[in-house]
Amino acid sequence: MTRLTDQDRIARTRLLARIVGPFLLVAGAAVALRANTIDTLFPAFFQDTPLVLITGVFTLMVGLVMVAAHHHWNSLAASVISVLAIVAVIRGVTLMLAPDLAAALAEGVTHAPAVPLALAALIAIVGAWLTFIGWLQKAESAS
């Protein structure tokens, strides 16, 4: 297997930041806009067993692709993307093999009124930052 150069690592980080950043930005905005109904959204989602399974399959697949393409820790942005990849793998496996655990975790988060909004803000901020890293920051310093 060929070793990646620093430039290769930076390019992979930027590529995934271009994808993950806007996704997180939109996801954070969606959670914030639906914060008042999030406590009913999650229970409805988890009652649809096939949907939970398919969501787990796709989440696991995306996470595994991200881990395979980008598993390095040479910068803050690279580390954040690698952590998000690992979280996607764990989330996908949990949705597929332990959906009741995922439902319980989601229920715990939604019972505290400020938590969904705080998570939405954090997700959107990380998304905006990764979008900047991927699309706007100069290539030589985008690590």
Q: Is residue 141 part of a domain?
A: no
Spatial distance between the Cα atoms of 125 and 121, rounded to a whole number of angstroms: 6
DSSP-based three-state secondary structure for 114: helix
User: How does pLDDT run across 84-95, given as a tens digit for each residue?
Assistant: 999 999 999 999
Full residue range of the structural domain in which residue 113 is found: 8-136
Residue 2 in any domain: the answer is no
Is 1 a domain residue?
no
Identify whether 66 is part of a domain. Answer: yes
Domain count, the chain: 1
143 located within any domain? no
pLDDT in tens, 4-51: 898 999 999 999 999 999 999 999 999 999 988 888 999 999 999 999
The answer as to whether 45 is a domain residue is: yes
pLDDT for position 98: 98
Q: How many CA atoms lie within 13 A of 4 on its CB side?
A: 15
pLDDT of residue 69: 94
In a domain, 99, yes or no: yes
